[in-house]
C-alpha cells in the first residue's frame, strides 16, 4: 500500500503497483467462502431475503416443520382407540410405519425435483399432499383408508422436511444460518416431544380425528404466506429440459428398494418370524434393488439422485451419518419412553406427555444455545463432540429406569438425551453444508441427503426398536410362564400377547401376575435402551470425524460483487487474448 502511495504518475511504477494491488485483491476474493449455485440457471445471491417477508416466511417454515414433527408422535396415544374403533389392532403399527417409511424413502427425490421445478412450487405441492393426507386421515371410515392416508401424508411430509431446510439455506448466507437452524431445531423438538401430549388431550377430551384436523388450519396459513411472500427466481429450464433431467430409473430403484427393505424390518418379529420366507425375501430383494440403484446412480446415470462428487467428500459423509445414528436413537427412545410412562407407570396420555418435558426443555435450550455459540465463535466440531459424548452418557443412564423409579430419576435420566439431540441436529447440517462441493446444485443435494439420512435413521430406528422389544417380551414371557406355571395358569401366551397389543387390558390381571408382566416389559425396554446406547457410540465416532472448518465471517463470504468482478476479469482476459491472437494473425 505504501508503494502505491509513493509511486509517481508516468514513472511506470504506478501501473505496476496497480497490477500488484489487483492481484492481491483477486487472491483475497479467491480465498472467500463460496457456496454452489442451485444448478437451475440462478445464483445463490438471487435467493436471499430480508425484512418482514423473511421473518414471515421463516415463521411459515417453522410451522410446517412443527406439523410434520407432530405427526410422527401424536399418533402414539391414539393407536389403542383407533384399533378399537376399526376393530383392527393387528394393523395399528402401520399408522406410524406408513408415515415414517414414505417420509424416508422420498426425501432425496424431493431434493432433486426442487432443482428442476423450483423450491417454491415443490414446497407448495408437498404442503398440499400433506394437508390432503391429513384431511383423509381425519375422515377415514376404516383402517385401510387411514393407512393409505398416512402414506400420502408421509410423501408430503418428506418434501416439507427436505425443502424447509433447503429454502432456509437459500434465504440467508451461511454465517446467519446457525440461529435460523436453531429455530428449526426448536420446532422439531417441541413438536416431536409434545405430540403425545397433544394427542392425549385430543383423544381423551375431543376425538382422535382432531389429531389430523389440527394440520389443516396451521398448514393452510403457512401455504398462503409462502405463496404470497416467497418469490425466488424461477429455474431457467424449458419444460422439456425439466422432464429430461429426472432420473426415472434411479428414482424407481431407490424408492422400491428402500420400501421393500423397510417392509422386512416392519414385518420382522411382529407379523412374521425373522427367519420366515417373507422377511428374508424382503431383505434380499430390497438389498439387490438398492445395489442396482448404486450401480446405476454412480456409474451410468447422467442425472444422479445422490451425486458421487458429494459422497466422495468425507467431511460431508461424517455429519450425514451422525444424523442417521442420532435419529435412529431419538425415535426409538421416544417410542419406548412413551411406552414406559403409559404401560409401566400407567400414566394417562396427558400425564405421559407432561413427563416428556424434562427432555424437551433441555433440547430446546441446547438447540438455541448451540446456535448462538456457533454464531459467536464460528466453531462447530468441538460442540459436536460435546453433543456426541453427552449422548453416549445420557442414553446409557436412561437404561437405569425401573418399574419403581421415582420422579427425580425420571426427570434426571431424560435431560442428557435432550441436550445431545439439540446439539447434534444443529452442528451436523452446518458442517455438511460448509464442506459441500462448489459444483452447481451441491448445497441443495447435500441438504437433501442430510434430511434423507435423518428420516431413514428414524424409520429404521423405530422399526428395529419395535422388533427388539417384541422379540424380548415374547422370550421373557415364555420363560416366566415356564418358571411360574401355577402363577400363570389360565393365561396362555396368545392371551398375554393380546394384552400387550392393548395395554389397557393389563389392569384386569391379578396384582402378582401383573407385576411379573410389567417386569418383563421393563426388561424388554432395557434391551431397546442398551441398543440405543451402543448406537450413540457410533454417533460419537462420526462427530469425531467432522471437519475442523469454521463458519466464515461475513467478510469472508463471497458476495455478488465479488462474483461480478471475477466474471468481468475472466471476460477481460478472454478479450485481451482474442485481441492478441488477432494482432499476431495480422502481423503474419
Helix axes 442-483, 93-105, angle to 10 degrees: 150
Query: What class is the 44-233+303-556 domain?
Result: mainly alpha
Q: b or e along 308-341 (b: 16 or more beta carbons within 10 Å of the residue's beta carbon)?
A: eebeebebbbbbbbbbbbbbbbbbbbbbbbbbbb
Residues 171, 177, 179, 185, CA torsion sign:
positive
Q: 518-567: per-residue pLDDT in tens?
A: 888 899 999 999 999 999 999 999 999 999 988 888 777 776 655 555 55
Measured at the CA of 389, the angle between CA 388 and CA 392, to 5 degrees, comes to: 90
- Dmax (CA) of the chain: 111
Burial category of 202 from C-beta neighbours within 10 Å (exposed 0-12, middle 13-18, buried 19 and up): buried
Q: 256-277: per-residue pLDDT in tens?
A: 998 898 888 877 766 777 788 8
Q: 229-257: per-residue pLDDT in tens?
A: 988 888 777 777 777 888 889 889 998 99
Burial category of 548 from C-beta neighbours within 10 Å (exposed 0-12, middle 13-18, buried 19 and up): exposed
Distance of CA 450 to the CA centre of its chain: 7
CA distance 210 to 216: 10
Residues in the chain with pLDDT values less than 50: 1-29, 570, 584
Q: 13-43: per-residue pLDDT in tens?
A: 444 444 444 444 444 445 677 777 767 667 7
CA distance 41 to 33: 20
For the beta carbon of residue 554, count every other beta carbon within 10 angstroms.
10
Over pLDDT 70: what percentage of the chain?
Answer: 87
pTM value > 0.85: no
- Alpha-carbon distance values, 512 to 81, 195, 484 (Å): 27, 33, 11
The three-state secondary structure class of 501 is helix
Residue with cell 485481441: 579
- Alpha-carbon distance values, 345 to 14, 32, 78, 447, 519 (Å): 83, 56, 18, 40, 11
Residue with cell 414433527: 69
Amino acid at each position: 500500500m505504501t508503494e502505491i502511495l509513493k509511486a509517481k504518475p508516468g514513472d511506470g511504477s504506478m501501473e505496476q503497483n496497480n497490477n500488484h494491488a489487483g492481484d492481491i485483491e483477486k487472491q483475497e476474493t479467491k480465498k472467500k467462502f463460496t457456496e454452489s449455485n442451485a444448478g437451475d440457471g440462478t445464483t445463490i445471491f438471487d435467493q436471499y431475503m430480508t425484512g418482514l417477508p423473511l421473518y414471515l416466511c421463516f415463521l411459515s417454515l417453522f410451522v410446517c416443520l412443527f406439523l410434520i414433527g407432530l405427526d410422527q408422535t401424536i399418533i402414539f396415544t391414539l393407536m389403542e382407540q383407533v384399533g378399537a374403533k376399526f376393530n383392527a389392532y393387528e394393523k395399528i403399527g402401520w399408522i406410524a410405519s406408513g408415515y415414517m417409511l414414505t417420509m424416508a424413502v422420498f426425501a432425496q427425490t424431493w431434493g432433486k425435483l426442487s432443482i428442476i421445478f423450483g423450491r417454491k412450487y415443490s414446497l407448495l405441492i408437498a404442503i398440499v399432499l400433506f394437508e390432503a393426507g391429513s384431511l383423509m386421515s381425519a375422515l377415514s371410515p376404516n383402517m385401510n383408508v387411514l393407512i393409505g392416508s398416512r402414506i400420502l401424508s408421509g410423501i408430503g411430509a418428506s418434501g416439507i422436511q427436505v425443502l424447509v431446510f433447503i429454502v432456509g439455506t437459500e434465504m440467508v448466507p451461511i454465517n446467519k444460518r446457525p440461529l435460523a437452524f436453531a429455530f428449526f431445531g426448536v420446532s422439531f423438538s417441541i413438536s416431536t416431544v409434545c405430540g403425545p401430549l397433544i394427542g392425549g388431550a385430543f383423544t381423551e377430551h375431543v376425538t382422535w380425528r382432531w389429531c389430523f384436523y389440527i394440520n389443516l388450519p396451521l398448514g393452510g396459513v403457512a401455504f398462503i404466506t409462502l405463496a404470497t411472500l416467497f418469490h425466488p427466481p424461477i429455474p431457467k429450464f424449458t419444460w422439456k429440459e425439466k422432464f429430461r433431467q429426472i432420473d426415472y430409473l434411479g428414482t424407481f430403484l431407490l424408492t422400491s428398494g428402500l420400501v421393500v427393505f423397510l417392509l422386512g424390518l416392519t414385518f420382522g418379529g411382529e407379523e412374521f418370524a425373522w427367519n420366515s420366507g417373507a422377511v428374508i425375501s424382503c431383505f434380499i430383494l430390497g438389498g439387490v434393488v438398492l445395489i442396482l440403484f448404486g450401480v446405476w446412480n454412480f456409474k451410468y446415470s447422467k442425472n444422479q439422485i445422490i451425486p458421487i462428487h458429494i459422497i466422495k467428500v468425507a467431511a460431508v459423509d461424517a455429519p450425514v451419518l451422525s444424523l442417521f445414528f442420532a435419529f435412529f436413537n431419538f425415535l426409538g427412545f421416544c417410542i419406548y419412553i412413551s411406552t414406559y410412562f403409559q404401560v409401566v407407570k400407567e400414566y394417562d396420555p396427558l400425564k405421559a406427555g407432561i413427563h416428556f418435558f424434562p427432555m424437551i426443555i433441555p433440547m430446546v435450550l441446547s438447540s438455541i444455545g448451540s446456535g448462538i455459540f456457533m454464531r459467536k465463535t464460528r466453531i462447530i466440531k468441538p460442540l459436536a463432540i460435546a453433543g456426541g459424548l453427552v449422548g453416549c452418557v445420557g442414553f446409557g443412564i436412561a437404561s437405569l429406569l425401573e418399574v419403581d423409579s421415582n420422579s427425580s430419576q425420571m426427570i434426571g435420566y431424560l435431560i442428557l438425551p435432550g441436550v445431545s439431540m439439540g446439539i447434534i441436529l444443529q452442528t451436523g447440517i452446518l458442517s455438511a453444508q460448509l464442506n459441500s462441493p462448489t459444483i452447481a446444485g451441491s448445497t441443495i443435494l447435500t441438504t437433501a441427503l442430510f434430511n434423507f439420512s435423518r428420516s431413514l435413521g428414524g424409520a429404521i430406528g423405530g422399526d428395529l426398536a419395535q422388533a427388539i422389544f417384541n422379540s424380548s417380551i415374547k422370550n421373557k414371557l415364555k420363560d416366566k410362564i415356564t418358571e411360574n406355571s401355577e402363577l400363570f395358569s389360565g393365561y396362555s401366551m396368545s392371551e398375554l400377547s393380546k394384552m400387550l397389543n392393548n395395554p389397557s387390558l393389563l389392569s384386569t390381571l391379578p396384582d402378582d401376575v401383573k407385576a411379573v408382566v410389567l417386569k418383563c416389559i421393563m426388561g424388554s425396554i432395557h434391551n431397546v435402551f442398551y441398543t440405543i446406547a451402543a448406537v450413540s457410540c457410533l454417533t460419537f465416532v462420526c462427530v469425531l470425524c467432522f471437519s475442523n472448518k469454521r463458519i466464515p465471517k461475513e467478510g469472508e463470504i463471497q458476495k455478488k460483487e465479488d462474483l461480478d468482478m471475477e466474471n468481468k476479469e475472466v471476460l477481460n482476459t478472454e478479450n485481451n487474448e482474442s485481441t492478441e491472437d488477432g494482432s499476431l494473425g495480422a502481423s503474419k
